[in-house]
Structures are given as structure tokens and as C-alpha cells.
Amino acid sequence: MTDYERNDEDFDRLIHGSLDTDAPVDDTVQFVRDLQDMCLPAQPSPHRQRHLEAIRQSMAEPHRTPTTIGGRNPLVPVALPRRSARQLVSDVTGTATARAALVAATLMVSTGGMAAAGALPEPVQSAVAQSAGTVGIDLPRPQVAVADRYETGTGVPLAPSRPPGRPPPSPTRWSPHPGT
Amino acid sequence: METGVDLDQAVQAAGRGEEWGWTDLYKTLAPAVTGYLRAQGAREADDLTGEVFVQAVRAIGRFDGDATSFRSWIFCIAHNKLVDDARYRKRRPVEVVADPGKDLVHHEHVEDLVLGNLARARVRRVISKLTPDQRDVLLLRILGGLTIEEVARTLGKQPSAVKALQRRGLASIKRDFPAPAYPFQPGRRLPVLG
């Protein structure tokens, strides 16, 4: 009986299916045959075309291996290109998104500054101060207007303040510009 | 496995980015890679095989060698994919629902199916008793068809260590593999009793 543990050549022949036909079928031979029957597909994989297509697509991709990154040797350090101030400005304002972000940032900064100075219109200042207060930022609240509105001191608003002699707004139709 | 393919030429062509080289390499090596991944318990062995070759295409710039080295290299990628796959599955276990009718479609006779399942169960039991190193060595040898030296290169071990692992693995198989009453041979009929 062949000792496959000791004899590499015989084991190689067994693996490659070139064992003598009269060689005894012992446990090792049976195991190798069963394993190969089990795992090695007899037919080409049904996924072969899909895999070959994936390989084809991958070949078309630009590859970034250590030997070629953008056609350069990656081991040689490359200095970052210097950019002029004008280039930086054009980068920042170059796209519509960047412009929108710039406008939003400008609005936020200017609104914040006005809110800090208490210079916003009353309702806006009140809302901003309340929102800022919830996150611990203390902004001036429109005190005078509040005192004018809450005449009872109970915290219940009575009515919007209006100049004496002006009629109250109609409950069904209200215009921000009376008389127009 | 495809025959009549000059692997050395195919490797050189693949290195130059020629499509036929990759096609020949895939047709020649993919069945063995799939078999190896399947025997190691990969859930989607076919898909992993495709990923192995795509990764090889992407990394061919780092490869320098002949057909023998390429075989080791491709199995090295497959082995690493297997480790990644095992880690991924550990993090996200998936419950597999068996489809009992699935195997029946491919078998003309129920006897084949039964004997095949018995043989599979025996083989799986024996493989599970091997140490991970013995398993890697024997599966690369038996399914990958790699030589001792190629296995050593694939696993980053010394050839003498691979030989020792193979010897101990085969001893374990001899000890644990129960001889079947009726060896599995597709298409062969069982003897009728009585």
C-alpha cells in the first residue's frame, strides 16, 4: 500500500488523477476523490461571462498601484502646487453650491451680529434670543415691546399695541399696511 | 480546468493588459479557486472567485513572475479574500435557509443524491478535524493543485513546514476518514439487496 504521507510524488500523482489504475483505493485516495468530486466544478461556472465582463471593466479602469500613481513614482515626494489668492477666491466662488454656501454664511454672520446688538425687528429678535437662549447664548430680548404687550403682568397677551385713535384691524381681513 | 493553455504566455499577456491573457487565466484557474473557496466554507464561492480575479487585474502592476508564481499569487489573493469574508460573516451573520429541492434538480437518481450527501458529510467531518494550517495546506494541494513550494509561497511558510503539515494532515485523514460501504460514484447504481 502506498504511503502518501511519506511519498510526495505519489501524492502529486493522486492529486492530478494520474495514479495507476490498479493502485489500491485506500482512505486517502477515497478522501481526495470525494473532495475533488465535491468541490471542483465539472462544468464551467454559470457566472463565467459575468466574471469575464467584470475583469474587462476592471482592465479599463485607471489603476493606482504603488508603481504608478498618476504616472509618477509614489516614493518621490511631490510638493503641493502653490495657488495664488485669485485662484483661491475663484475656487471658493467657482460653483453654484459654493456661492450659495457663501451667501448663507454671510447672512448667518450678519444676522448673528445684528441679533447680538439687539438691532433685529422685535419678533425676529425675540425668536432669535429665545432660540439662542436654549443653547446657552444670552442675547438681548426686546424688553420694551414685551412690557408694552403684557400690561397685566400675568404673562397673558392682551392685544397688539397700536397707536391711540387707530381702529383695530378687522377680524376677517387684516392688512399690514392700514389705509392702503 | 482548461487544457491546452500556455499559462506563461497568458500571464505575460495579462501583464501587458491584453484581454485574452486574463480570459485564459480565468478559465484555467477559476475552477480550482472556486473549489478551494467552497471547501473552506465560503458562502458565495462563485462571487468571491470573480472578486479574486478583479483584484488580480487591479494589482497586476505589483506582480512580477511566471505562471508558477501567478498560481501562488492568485491563491494568496483567494486566501486573503477568504479571511476577509470570514471576518465579515462573523460581524454580520446571515441565516441560510436550505432549499431541499435545489439539489434534486441536478441529480437524475435519488441514490446519487443520498450517496453524494453521505460522501460530503464524511469529507466535511474530516476537514473539520484538521487544524487550520493543515486544512489550508491540504486544500491548496488537493483542490488548487499547487506544489509544496507553491503552497509555501501562498501561505508564507517554509516548504519544510508545509511538508510537515501535509504529513500530519494526511495522518489525520487516515485516522478519521471512515471507509464508505459504497464509495460515491455519480451514476453508479446501488446493489439491490435480497
A62: chain B residues, CB-CB within 8 Å: none
The DSSP letter of residue B143 is T
Q: How far is CA B184 from CA A38, B103, B177, in A?
A: 10, 16, 14
Check residues B34 and B116 and name the one with the higher pLDDT. B34
A27: chain B residues, CB-CB within 8 Å: 173-174, 177, 179
The SS3 call for residue B194 is coil
In the structure, what pLDDT confidence band is assigned to residue B105 with cuts at 50, 70 and 90? very low
Q: pTM of the predicted model, to two decimals?
A: 0.58
Measured CA to CA, the distance from residue B66 to residue A83 in angstroms comes to: 47
Q: Does A82 reach chain B within 8 Å, measured CB to CB?
A: no
- B109: which 3 cell numbers? 437518481
The reply to whether residue A54 touches residue B54, judged by beta carbons under 8 angstroms, is yes
In the structure, what pLDDT confidence band is assigned to residue A122 with cuts at 50, 70 and 90? confident
Q: How far is CA A52 from CA A168, B59, B186, in A?
A: 81, 16, 30
CB B71 within 8 A of CB A71: no
Q: What is the mean pLDDT of residues B55-83?
A: 90
Count CB pairs under 8 A between chains A and B: 130
B186: chain A residues, CB-CB within 8 Å: 37
In the structure, what pLDDT confidence band is assigned to residue B76 with cuts at 50, 70 and 90? very high
The reply to whether residue B173 touches residue A12, judged by beta carbons under 8 angstroms, is no
Q: What percent of chain A has pLDDT over 70?
A: 58
In the structure, what pLDDT confidence band is assigned to residue B178 with cuts at 50, 70 and 90? low
The reply to whether residue B183 touches residue A25, judged by beta carbons under 8 angstroms, is yes
Place of cell 498560481: B71
pLDDT recorded at residue A83? 60
Q: Does A170 reach chain B within 8 Å, measured CB to CB?
A: no
Q: What is the mean pLDDT of residues A154-158?
A: 49
The reply to whether residue B34 touches residue A12, judged by beta carbons under 8 angstroms, is no
Closest Cα in chain B, distance from residue A76 (Å) = 18
Amino acid at B42: A
B47: chain A residues, CB-CB within 8 Å: 47
Q: Does A72 reach chain B within 8 Å, measured CB to CB?
A: no
Binning chain A into helix, strand and coil, the percentages to the nearest 5 are 45, 0, 50
Q: Flag whether pLDDT at A80 surpasses 90.
A: no
CA B17 to chain centre: 27
In the structure, what pLDDT confidence band is assigned to residue A66 with cuts at 50, 70 and 90? very low
pLDDT recorded at residue A57? 86
Q: Flag whether pLDDT at B25 surpasses 90.
A: yes
Q: What percent of chain B has pLDDT over 70?
A: 76
Closest Cα in chain A, distance from residue B77 (Å) = 15
**Which of A15-24, B59-68, B169-178 is predicted least confidently?**
A15-24
The reply to whether residue B61 touches residue A68, judged by beta carbons under 8 angstroms, is yes
Q: Does A86 reach chain B within 8 Å, measured CB to CB?
A: no
pLDDT tens digits along B118-139? 777 888 888 888 999 999 999 9
In the structure, what pLDDT confidence band is assigned to residue A145 with cuts at 50, 70 and 90? very low
Place of cell 502518501: A4
Mean per-residue pLDDT of chain B: 81
In the structure, what pLDDT confidence band is assigned to residue A70 with cuts at 50, 70 and 90? very low
B30: chain A residues, CB-CB within 8 Å: 45, 48, 51
Which of A1, A11, A28, A40 best tests the B interface by mutation, with the highest count of B CBs <10 A?
A40
The reply to whether residue A15 touches residue B145, judged by beta carbons under 8 angstroms, is yes
